[in-house]
Structure 1
């Protein structure tokens, strides 16, 4: 199979636990680009959370916010915001349970309360700036994703109240909140359609629970050796750990590197 495009998750895939890019991964991405293979970031992060990484890798195409905001060579080609009514319902219910929220637009993000300890802990783990405070940000801007800050299991109180949303845990104190039919795969599908590339000619690398749909829709889905155990059955191949040549070894398996 001749693969034309590769999608890379960021956390745990391109970067390690310290949020550092392994040098061999950087070299591998550049070699792909030199060979004319499209290289695209596919992440749950918003664009302002990964701009330095994209710049270092020379990547200007991405599927961000778990498929909600897609850019090809610097130009937005696909956008899907969370319905305003769903955001309003979540805001009201979160207030009843004292769960803090962070609202993510495509260019900025704000928390509904200042310096909540769960927000500080979770967002700081991404090695990015903390959000400002604006409880009404969602009323004035398109919201593509929300961080819900709660302990494991506490998200179940939202199932009946806001059934059109789903919750994907990425930190012990935080979850991504997105529409039930949203995933990275939706954004990837939009980008592939834009490029007139068939899914079987695409490769995707991931390690987290939000990568399931992505790995199964492409021609070759590769899970990192350090992946969440529940992800690995959805992959066609499991490569090595991010710090043990995982990207390079996966690309060699795909026949994209020598």
Structure 2
């Protein structure tokens, strides 16, 4: 009988423990559901806040863009109505002061540079709106007379094209075409004007005409070792330089 009583007590205690465990599990599950619900509410509130912020920023951007378009349209209309010309001067231009003088080829010639120093040609071509006129065959026959005329022209024009790209100066190369039976087929390189003298006219005469055609004050440099050409262009205000000067400069391109 005592054993049966102990067994009943043990069974009762087990039932009690099970009941308590079930109650605790139910409480935990209930709390978990409550926390999940609150988490869902928080996530929904956060997403709603983000959406509202995006919509609010979009509205502000739209209003700002509309305001900017309105100002730009009003400015364009005012410009058309007033017919204002483009501004060509700046406030600093109205100040009364002395400006430095502009250098000319003669000023550069007065510097202590050798007539065969390539730096002299660089300085001349660095002048604003400089124009380099080249006595083509005079240069090629000074530098590489053993080559055929066609290859002489191509070599010189290739070097002048690179020099034009480096300096930005206008370049004209004149070849003697007085004895040509037909025009030379040639694709001028970028940045170089190629001219042939007409029948009965020498390249020297074309070079002098080019020098005289330039307005006074424009930097014009003529490359030729021909003394008659050099003297003629100098009278027109151009700066003559020797062919060897150009050849040395082209050897660096």
TM-score of Structure 1 vs Structure 2, range by shorter chain: 0.3 to 0.5
Which protein has the larger Cα radius of gyration, Structure 1 or Structure 2? 2
* Alignment TM-score, normalising by the size of structure 1: 0.34
Greater relative CO (CA pairs within 8 A, separation 6+): 1
Q: Which has the higher strand share?
A: 1
